[in-house]
Amino acid sequence: MFMAPVSLERSTAPTGFALALGLCFALLLAATAAAQGPRQLKPGWNLFSKDQDIQLGKEAAAQVEKQYTVVRDEALVQYIRRIGAKLASTPEAGGYPYSFQVVADKSINAFALPGGPAFVHTGLLAAADNEAQVAGVLAHEISHVALRHGTSQASKANLFQLPALLASGMLGKSGSMLGQLAQLGIGLGTNSVLLKFSRTAESDADLLGTRIMAKAGYNPLEMARFFEKLEASGGARGPQFLSDHPNPGNRVKAVETEIGYLPRSSYTTGSANEFARIQKLAAAVPVPPPKQAASAQPTAAPSMPQIPVSRTIREYRASAYAISYPDNWQATAAQKSQGVTLAPREGYVQGSGGGYSIGAGAVVDFASKTGDLNRDTAGLLQKLAGENADMRTQEPSKSTRVNGQPALVTILQSRSPFAGETEVDTLVTVERPEGLFFVVLIAPQSMVRNMQGAFDAMLRSIRFSPAASR
């Protein structure tokens, strides 16, 4: 499995960095000033636009629908949609295109994706005491969407790489956003930066959730009571919901204080009879084995997709070099170096940690150099082995030429991120004024033959720019 080492060592700070720090500092001051009275709740600093939140949510929801079993029971679905619609129509919800679905899963969880798609597990319906508690979870999730916590966290975690990626016009190309973000390790897996929130975000979502519930006529205390009930019943090894939504402390008290700022109102917890009927329906939903677990079995192995290799090529140009690649692959430039990843979307594989690795494609970049091709290549191999524990040298380095320059080609073997596959990585290195130029051509063993032609053409296409005077 090739975890791209792209541009970890170089760090020329883009000018945007100083600006970003300035903004964070300003936000901090604003937060301190508003310590008294009802808290001003506004979305935090964010590199994504609202439209990009919505697009990301759409793509992520499509992935969720593939991974989970979405419940089709009309009565259940209508019930969740009715509650959701009431909450989503409050001005505090920010006018996002919310959608609400039920997932057949006994674990106590619910989650919302940027821009509005929300999912509730049948296990959460079973654990709630009344409709208001379900509404509380949804109001809390809606608040994360409206306050844009997921993309704000992703922005802060990727100050350097995100701006160019977001500016690269991925809006409009349908289905492209998740794949691009995947390269920064932003996905939907465990501990995803999009779904696991800070305690500050939790406390803000509780407060906004309180306001949303109150507007919709639900007793906001039920939200905090439900979270505390989960905490009390589960302890440290409680449901997934609590690890994604860590307790900011004193939830009930904070909600009570917030209710005090709101206009007096009478609240409902919903119809007890109807809720009992819904819980029965939820309990009756058959829970299939998780789809991901099924795909981990060697016999199922659907994970090896068709890797499309177009014969038409296009050229990628960096200032130090140019390389051609199949025109149905994507080129994603590294943000801190002249490197680029050239891969089909099918070549990215999401790991259990939520990050992505490249299972088929090519990575081009520069590593540090001393001027000795053999020594520098050995240094790079050592670094790659450090980052990819199961990487072995299959064939030792041999001399070759790239664009007329002396080069080394080394064949490596590692575990492919595709189920049941071994991966073959072809490393080609050339000394250049900018550093040790390298290309890693990545293919699962069963695809090596199919990809060989494209890889050879890529290597032949490499043109180095004459060294600029520096």
Binding region for Zn ion (CB under 5 A): 197, 202, 205, 245
- We find the least distance from the C-beta atom of residue 140 to Zn ion, in angstroms, to be 5
Place of tokens 């009390």: 232
Longest dimension (CA), the chain: 81
Query: What's the min distance (Å) between Cβ of 129 and Zn ion?
Result: 19
Least distance to Zn ion from the beta carbon of 202, Å?
A: 5
The DSSP H or E segment spanning 136 is: helix 131-146
Rounded Cα gap, residues 370 and 375, in angstroms: 8
Q: Which of 286, 278, 266 is nearest to 83 (CA)?
A: 278
Residue nearer to Zn ion on the CB measure, 79 or 197: 197
| Identity at 208, one-letter amino acid code | L
Q: How far is the CB of 100 from Zn ion (least distance, A)?
A: 16
User: Which residues face 345 on adjacent strands?
Assistant: none
3-state SS class at 220: coil
Question: Judging by DSSP bridges, how do beta strands 117-121 and 99-103 pair with one another?
Answer: parallel
Residue closer to Zn ion, measured from CB, 135 or 285: 135
155 or 183: whose CB is closer to Zn ion?
A: 155
Task: Compute the chain's Rg from CA coordinates.
Answer: 25
Cβ closest to Zn ion, residue 230 vs residue 358: 230
Q: How far is the CB of 170 from Zn ion (least distance, A)?
A: 27
User: Is there a contact between 49 and 57 (Cβ–Cβ < 8 Å)?
Assistant: no
With tokens 């509404």, the residue in question is 135
Nearer to Zn ion, 48 or 241 (CB): 241
Least separation in angstroms between residue 197's CB and Zn ion is 5
The C-alpha atoms of residue 118 and residue 143 are separated, in whole angstroms, by: 11
Cβ proximity to Zn ion: between 123 and 150 the closer is 150
Give least dist CB 364 to Zn ion, A: 40
Strands laid side by side in the 110-112 sheet: 99-103, 117-121, 110-112
Torsion of the alpha carbons at 449, 453, 456 and 458, rounded to the nearest 10? -120
Helix (H) or strand (E) holding 347: none
